[in-house]
Amino acid sequence: MRPAGPPPVDPDEARRRIHEELSKAEYDDSPGFIDWLLGTIESWLLEIVDGIDGSSAAQAGIAVAMGVVLVVAAVLVLRRTGLIRRGHTLAVAAELDAQPVLSGAELRASAGEAVSAGRTDDGIVLALRALVRDLEERTLLDVTAGMTAHEAADRAARPYPELRGRLERGADAFDTAAYSHRTATAKQADDLLRLAEYIADSAPDLTGLGTTADAGAEDPLHPRDAAPTGVGG
C-alpha cells in the first residue's frame, strides 16, 4: 500500500505561498541588486505556477517546495557574502561624502571614541571617512558622489603607494562594517584608525602618482631606520 502523501496544492495556493515567502521581512533590507534578483526568482516561479493547470496538484506542490528552497538558499548565500545584512547596526552614515561635512581631525576623533567604546563598525566607517576627508582637504583626492571604499583606497594609494596593501585591507574592513552581517574586529578598527592617523601626519610621494607600488614595498607603519621622505602636502 502506498503511504499517504501531503495534501495536494492547487496553483492558486502555490502562488499564495510563494508570495508569502518572498514578502517576509528578512528580505526587505537588501540593496537594489538583491531586490532585482529576488524579483527575478519570483517572476520565474510564478511563470511555472501559471503553467500548471488545476489537475496538476502534485506539480504545484513540487514547484512550491522548489521555490522555497531556492529562495532560502539564495538568501543564505547572499548573507554569507555580506550582500544582505541581518540588521543595520551602524550609528553613523556610511557614505564617504556624508553630510554634514566634518574635518579629517573631527572624524578621526569620532573614530577613536567609537573604537574605545567598542563600536568597531562605527569606528571603521569613521576612520575611512577621516582618511578620505584628510586627503580631500589636502587636494590629494577628489571625493565623488557614490565613491566606494575600494575606489577611495585605489586613489589614496597613488600619493601613498607603499600603503596600498593596508589601504585595500582597510576598504575590505569598511565593506564588512558597513554592508556585511558580520561585525568587523577590533584589530581591523585599530589598524584602520592608525593608518588614517599616519597618513594625516605624513608627506605624500607625489612622484609616484599614477604608478603602482611594488609588492615588496616596506610598510611605513612599522618602525624603520629612516623617516619617510616625499614632497610636503
Same domain assignment for residues 130 and 195: yes
Q: Cα-flanking dihedrals φ and ψ of residue 139, to 5°?
A: 55, 30
pLDDT value at position 59? 64
Within a domain: 21: yes
pLDDT at position 230, please? 44
- In a domain? residue 203: yes
Please tell me whether residues 120 and 63 are part of one structural domain.
no
Q: Rounded to whole angstroms, how far apart are CA atoms 58 and 61?
A: 5
- 157's grid cell: 594609494
Same domain, 108 and 170: yes
Structure confidence at residue 110 (pLDDT): 96
pLDDT bin (cut points 50, 70, 90) of residue 99 is confident
Is the CB of residue 122 less than 8 Å from the CB of residue 91? yes
Contact between 124 and 187 under an 8 Å Cβ cutoff? The reply is no
CA angle (181 as vertex; 177, 184 as ends), nearest 5: 35
108 and 204 inside one domain: yes
Tell me if 213 is assigned to some domain.
no
**Do 137 and 63 lie in a common domain?**
no
Residue 207: band (very low, low, confident or very high) from pLDDT cuts 50, 70, 90? confident
Q: Are residues 111 and 184 in the same domain?
A: yes
In a domain, 181, yes or no: yes
Mean pLDDT of 149-173: 95
Residue 49: what pLDDT? Answer: 62
Higher pLDDT, 114 or 56: 114
Same domain, 30 and 72: yes
Give CA separation, 26 vs 72, 76, 185, 203, in Å.
Answer: 11, 11, 25, 47
> Range with the lowest mean pLDDT among 11-15, 76-80, 156-160, 223-227?
223-227
pLDDT tier at 20 (50, 70, 90 boundaries)? Answer: low
Residues 61 and 28 placed together within one structural domain of the fold: yes
Pick the last residue of a domain from 21, 47, 80.
80
Q: Is the residue at 218 inside a domain?
A: no
Q: Once rounded to an integer, what is the mean pLDDT over residues 113-123?
A: 95
Domain of 162 in residue numbering reads as 104-208
Last residue in a domain, options 47, 80, 113: 80
Instruction: Please choose, from the candidates 92, 97, 149, the residue with its C-alpha nearest in 3D space to the C-alpha of residue 122.
Output: 92
Is 174 among the domain residues? yes
Mean pLDDT of 35-48: 70
Is 137 part of any domain?
yes
Give 39's contacts (C-beta < 8 A, 6+ positions apart).
none
Of 118, 107, 65, nearest to 196 (Cα)?
Answer: 107
Distance of CA 139 to the CA centre of its chain: 27
CA distance 214 to 162: 8
Percent of the chain's residues with pLDDT above 90: 41
- Counting every residue, how long is the chain? 233
Quick one: pLDDT at residue 233? 38
65 with 33, same domain?
yes
More confident residue, 191 or 77: 191
| Count of structural domains within the chain | 2
Tell me if 141 sits within 8 A of 199, measured CB to CB. Answer: no
Instruction: Clarify whether residues 112 and 200 are in a common domain.
Output: yes
Neighbour-count burial for 154-189, b at 16+ CB within 10 Å, e otherwise: ebbbbbbbbbbebbbebbbbbbbbbbbbeebeeebb
Same domain, 39 and 127: no
Q: What is the pLDDT of residue 226?
A: 46
Q: Mean pLDDT across the chain, nearest whole number?
A: 76
Smallest CA-to-CA distance from 158 within 195, 210, 203 is with: 210
The answer to whether residues 109 and 58 belong to one domain is: no
Residue 224 resides in a domain? no
* Helices first, then strands: H and E counts in the chain: 8, 0
Average pLDDT over residues 179-188: 89
